[in-house]
């Protein structure tokens, strides 16, 4: 091998750099363990401790913050925490850019775009398509009613074409999303979690937010989704709204009377005599005041119009929207806005109603844009509050507003995101200086968050959580333990097998494997990559496939030695392009291409799997080709007796002479039956599509003891009013619960409502009382309650499904083109792609047939697609190794007819095929047993795929290759071979 010294130099440098990069991870983990021990499990104290040493030098002149930034980051499935994808409402941004126009074409286009947005299509593109269809050229985007308004006068002129306006609007929307990203970054920076991660996902308006270690679920969601639309409104008092409340009550009374007249069942004379007169009178009285039954008017002179149960607010809102009620609002009252107050934790379930003095433009007298600073503090009574400072203009307007309220003895409501936080009166004259205060039923945490939100500023549009995942730290620790166990067991078994089968050469392969692992983790640390549980699976799988290249090299060297070559010549021949290098290159390039497709189309943990897989392929090639070569050359130069086998395995897999092509009809028949059975199962049994594909909410709930699955399903189905699926997940005391309840509704209130329904209906299955916070939130040492929760909105589900289709089709297309270019015969590409399609259909068929009774999760989700793409990669790997030998023999001088030449090709690669498949299956089996229930379905798909893929490489791909070669070509090959000496 040329330049051996240079390769040694780079290998040593690479190893030193890897160790250096990994040292930051070890140091950071040690400091975090110290912080955890010093805090006694209190997460706030732990964060305070880490913040206090953030700027202290702790390692090689680096501060702790710098060391932490250089460590390998653990994903949420290992660390615990919250992962959400926020969808910034492009619809709201467009409304704002169009000055909330009432143009019917524009608003119809917005609604159509919302309904008909396709998977992987940006909302803005969907809107442009809908607008073109709705307007039919009669209305332009540059209309003065739409985008050629006063606010956009510098950017959009009436003479501009729609295409020109689209460019401007796209830029404006992107600017708004950038603004939202900046606001969220400021909020998260002050929230207090270690290493938060925010990423913009293309130009879709989506923002990924990862908060490792975050535990208060409702608090985080509220912080992220609050638009921080702060407004100051004058209020009406209950005295001024009595007429409106009475009119609403009378209107509802009339409605109820109509319903009673039309729907009251007929009653016989005897039945009427049996009616309890007292009960009848009470029922009649109760029905006389439908509004006042659920709304208690506030005291006279108060800005509180009334008080009601939170559950009744929607009904009351509908009452106030009735035309007969709105008609009671005359003069300035007709602009009244009704708003509900913040729920008091000391009086949960009850909220206050306020009437805000609106105006024709529906614009508040003063908005939050004037706020320049905010901080949490305490009021004169020692209660938590938020103090705000305004700019000069705001100070003047605030003084004027408070002066007017003082003169009228009125109140000013402080409204944030349409919720009234307080409505204080002004009793000491106009307030100058621009200082104001928000007080109310707060705790210290709420005032800190509210001040944080106000300081960061408002979002340009609403932000909805369209996908979320919550993982408890206890579950993360279990995942780490499972990952370490599967890694160690897999490493030991592979190392043992290589030594058992190849003897001394096996030790060299194991050394290369150890170096390979060092390089993988070194690169992950250098790139600042995130290590996830599927990522660990990728590394463990890499260990199984890393020896693949060594197996190919060793088997080729053994063949050369059987032909009588010396050890040195055999090593040289096995590392040549005509030896093992062409097979290794083609096999790894096809796998790399499928991994690349997975990286492009995958999201979240799937990207982690793809990242480690791609890195592993590159490092495996380097260590197998260069590190192993250096070790083998060193052994040969010392005159060692290197035989690439042991006394036990010397003649294993060496005398195969099986006629594979003679069995092709039987193979076609068996495969045909399996494929037919798969399609029958698809149409009759379907596939268990996970929430990634159809949308929904999933909760992993752990109980103290085994619970009845059917009882849980029944109780929750009644509570949610829709079908709920529940399955045992892992141990008998743990269920995976899935529901589509309000999955298309967004907001903190909706998520909290779902959590409360779940809590209220499941708490009876616990022998000890469990609080809502303990049930929902995550904390160290948690053993019962919600261990993990996920939500995928319908739009995200559409995108994931579309990406999955493109990922599978794209990988097949790319591999077909690559193999056609590499082998220069379309028959090779066709055989490989048909075999892979055969493997994918059968794996899907097995999942379709078995998901209802298997004791582990077998649903179609992102992880399953990752498994399918991995199956494609490794099935191609096997096929390419066989095809490479077929190409070699067809181009060589082997005697015999076409079929016998191909059969010899397959038989001479069997030792490679069996060894490679065995090592990969061994590793997958270890992961299936020790990797934990969360990846069992993922690993099972790969395990089945490797078995089916090995079969198809031998009995499907090669026969198809032979059957598609014309008789004329076969005769030409036979003539050339028989003419050779």
pLDDT of 355 strictly over 60: yes
pLDDT of 261 strictly over 90: no
pLDDT for position 263 = 42
pLDDT of 811 strictly over 70: yes
pLDDT top residue among 278 and 786: 786
pLDDT for position 353 = 92
Place of tokens 């949960």: 348
pLDDT of 1 strictly over 70: no
Nearest to 970 by CA among 852, 868, 862, 890: 890
pLDDT for position 279 = 39
What is the rounded radius of gyration, in angstroms, for the C-alpha atoms of the chain? 35
pLDDT top residue among 851 and 678: 678
pLDDT in tens, 52-73: 787 888 888 888 888 887 877 7
Q: ∠ CA(94), CA(100), CA(104), 5° rounding?
A: 90
pLDDT in tens, 562-594: 777 888 888 888 888 777 787 777 777 877 887
- Contact (CB, 8 A) for 226 and 342: no
What average pLDDT does the segment 111-134 reach? Answer: 83
Place of tokens 């991995």: 870
Nearest to 779 by CA among 472, 485, 558: 472
pLDDT for position 160 = 87
pLDDT top residue among 539 and 273: 539
Least confident of 328-332, 742-746, 946-950: 742-746
What average pLDDT does the segment 664-676 reach? Answer: 91
pLDDT for position 786 = 84
What average pLDDT does the segment 422-447 reach? Answer: 78
Residues 6+ apart with CB under 8 A from 221: 84, 465, 468, 748, 751
Least confident of 165-169, 364-368, 424-428: 424-428
The chain-wide mean pLDDT, for the chain, equals 79
For residue 828 the two structure tokens come to 């090779």
- Contact (CB, 8 A) for 808 and 840: yes
pLDDT for position 674 = 92
The pLDDT > 70 percentage for the chain reads: 89
| DSSP strand pairing (419-422 vs 337-341) | parallel
The pLDDT > 90 percentage for the chain reads: 3
pLDDT of 847 strictly over 80: yes
What average pLDDT does the segment 418-429 reach? Answer: 81
pLDDT in tens, 682-691: 888 888 877 7
Give the integer Cα–Cα distance in Å for 647 and 797: 56
pLDDT of 259 strictly over 90: no
Looking at the DSSP bridge assignments, the partners of residue 712 are: none
pLDDT of 669 strictly over 90: yes
Instruction: State the pTM of this model.
Output: 0.66
> Could you tell me the pLDDT band of residue 979, with boundaries at 50, 70 and 90?
low
Place of tokens 């398509």: 129
pLDDT of 402 strictly over 50: yes
Give the integer Cα–Cα distance in Å for 564 and 555: 15
pLDDT for position 285 = 40
pLDDT of 17 strictly over 80: yes
Query: For the chain, how far is it from start to end, CA to CA, in angstroms?
Result: 32
What average pLDDT does the segment 153-180 reach? Answer: 86
pLDDT of 270 strictly over 60: no
In sign, the C-alpha dihedral spanning 666, 671, 677, 680 is negative
pLDDT in tens, 294-342: 888 888 888 999 999 888 888 888 888 888 777 877 778 888 889 998 8
> Could you tell me the pLDDT band of residue 604, with boundaries at 50, 70 and 90?
low
Helix (H) or strand (E) holding 341: strand 337-341
Name the phi and psi angles at 436, rounded to 5: -140, 170
pLDDT for position 284 = 38
What average pLDDT does the segment 658-672 reach? Answer: 88
Q: Which one of 50-59, 67-76, 844-853, 935-944 scores highest in mean pLDDT?
A: 844-853
């Amino acid at each position: 091998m040329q330049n051996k010294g240079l390769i040694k130099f780079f290998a040593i440098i690479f190893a030193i750099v890897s160790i250096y990069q990994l040292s930051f991870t070890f140091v950071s983990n040690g400091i975090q363990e110290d912080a955890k021990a010093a805090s006694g499990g209190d997460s706030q104290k732990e964060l305070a401790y880490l913040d206090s040493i953030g700027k202290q030098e702790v390692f090689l002149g680096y501060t702790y913050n710098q060391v932490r930034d250089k460590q390998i980051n653990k994903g949420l499935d290992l660390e615990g925490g919250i992962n959400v994808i926020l969808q910034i409402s492009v619809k709201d941004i467009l409304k704002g850019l169009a000055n909330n126009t009432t143009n019917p074409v524009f608003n119809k286009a917005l609604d159509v775009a919302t309904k008909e947005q396709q998977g992987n299509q940006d909302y803005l593109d969907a809107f442009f398509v809908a607008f073109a269809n709705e307007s039919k050229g009669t209305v332009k985007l540059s209309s003065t009613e739409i985008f050629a308004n006063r606010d956009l006068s510098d950017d959009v002129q009436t003479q501009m074409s729609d295409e020109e306006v689209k460019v401007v609007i796209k830029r404006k929307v992107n600017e708004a999303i950038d603004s939202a990203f900046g606001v969220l970054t400021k909020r998260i920076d002050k929230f207090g979690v270690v290493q938060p991660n925010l990423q913009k996902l293309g130009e879709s308006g989506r923002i990924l937010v990862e908060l490792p270690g975050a535990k208060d679920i409702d608090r985080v969601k509220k912080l992220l989704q609050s638009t921080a639309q702060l407004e100051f409104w004058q209020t009406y008092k209950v005295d001024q709204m009595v007429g409106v409340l009475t009119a609403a009550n009378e209107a509802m009374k009339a409605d109820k009377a109509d319903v009673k007249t039309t729907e009251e069942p007929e009653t016989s004379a005897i039945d009427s005599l049996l009616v309890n007169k007292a009960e009848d009178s009470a029922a009649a009285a109760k029905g006389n005041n439908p509004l006042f039954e659920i709304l208690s008017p506030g005291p006279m002179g108060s800005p509180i119009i009334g008080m009601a149960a939170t559950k009744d607010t929607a009904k009351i809102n509908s009452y106030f929207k009735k035309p007969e009620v709105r008609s009671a609002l005359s003069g300035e009252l007709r602009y009244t806005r009704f708003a509900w107050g913040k729920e008091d934790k000391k009086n949960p379930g009850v909220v206050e109603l306020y009437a805000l003095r609106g105006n024709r433009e529906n614009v508040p007298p003063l908005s939050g844009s004037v706020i320049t600073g905010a901080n949490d503090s305490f009021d004169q009574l020692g209660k938590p509050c938020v103090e705000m400072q305004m700019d000069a203009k705001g100070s003047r307007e605030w003084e004027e507003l408070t002066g007017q309220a003082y003169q009228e003895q009125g109140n000013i409501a402080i409204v944030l995101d349409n919720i009234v936080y307080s409505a204080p009166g002004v009793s000491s004259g106009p307030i100058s200086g621009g200082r104001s205060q928000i007080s109310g039923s707060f705790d210290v945490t709420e005032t800190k968050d509210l001040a944080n939100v106000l300081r960061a500023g408002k979002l340009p549009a609403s932000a909805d959580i369209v996908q979320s995942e919550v993982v408890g730290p206890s579950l993360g620790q279990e995942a780490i333990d499972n990952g370490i166990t599967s890694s160690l067991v897999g490493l030991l078994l592979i190392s043992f097998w290589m030594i058992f089968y190849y003897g001394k050469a096996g030790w060299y392969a194991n050394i290369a494997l150890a170096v390979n692992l060092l390089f993988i983790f070194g690169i992950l640390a250098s790139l600042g990559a995130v290590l996830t549980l599927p990522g660990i699976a990728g590394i463990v799988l890499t260990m199984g496939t890393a020896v693949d290249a060594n197996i190919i090299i060793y088997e080729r060297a053994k063949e050369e030695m059987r032909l009588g070559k010396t050890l040195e010549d055999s090593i040289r021949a096995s590392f040549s392009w005509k030896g093992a290098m062409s097979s290794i290159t083609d096999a790894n390039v096809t796998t790399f291409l499928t991994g690349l497709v997975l990286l492009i189309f995958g999201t979240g943990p799937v990207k982690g799997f793809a990242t480690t897989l791609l890195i592993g392929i590159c490092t495996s090639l380097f260590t197998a080709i260069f590190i192993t070569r250096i070790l083998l050359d060193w052994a040969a130069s010392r005159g060692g007796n290197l035989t690439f086998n042991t006394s036990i395995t010397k003649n294993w897999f060496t005398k195969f002479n099986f006629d594979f092509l003679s069995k092709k009809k039987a193979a076609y028949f068996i495969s045909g039956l399996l494929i037919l059975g798969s399609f029958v199962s698809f149409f009759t049994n379907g596939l268990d599509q996970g929430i990634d594909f159809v949308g929904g909410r999933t909760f992993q709930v752990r109980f103290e003891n085994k619970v009845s699955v059917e009882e849980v399903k029944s109780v929750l189905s009644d509570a949610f009013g829709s079908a709920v699926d529940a399955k045992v997940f892992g141990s008998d005391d743990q269920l995976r619960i899935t529901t589509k309840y309000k999955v298309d509704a967004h907001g903190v209130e909706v998520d909290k409502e779902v959590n409360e329904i779940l809590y209220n209906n499941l708490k009876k299955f616990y022998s000890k009382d469990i609080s809502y916070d303990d049930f929902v939130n995550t904390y160290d040492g948690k053993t019962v309650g919600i261990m993990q929760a996920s939500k995928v909105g319908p739009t995200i589900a559409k995108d994931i499904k579309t990406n999955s289709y493109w990922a599978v089709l794209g990988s097949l297309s790319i591999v077909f083109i690559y193999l056609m270019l590499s082998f220069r015969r379309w028959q090779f590409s066709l055989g490989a792609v048909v075999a892979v399609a055969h493997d994918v259909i059968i794996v899907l068929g097995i999942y379709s047939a078995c998901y209802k009774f298997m004791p582990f999760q077998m649903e179609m989700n992102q992880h399953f697609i990752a498994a399918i793409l991995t199956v494609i990669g490794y099935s191609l790997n096997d096929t390419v190794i066989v095809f490479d030998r077929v190409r070699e023999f067809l181009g060589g001088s082997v005697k015999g007819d076409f079929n016998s030449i191909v059969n010899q090709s397959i038989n001479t690669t069997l030792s490679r095929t069996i060894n490679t498949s065995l090592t990969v299956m061994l590793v997958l089996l270890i992961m299936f047993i020790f990797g934990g229930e969360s990846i069992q379905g993922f690993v099972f798909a790969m395990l089945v795929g490797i078995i089916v893929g090995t079969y198809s490489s031998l009995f499907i791909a090669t026969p198809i290759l032979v059957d598609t070669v014309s008789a004329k070509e076969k005769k030409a090959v036979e003539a050339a071979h028989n003419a050779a000496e």
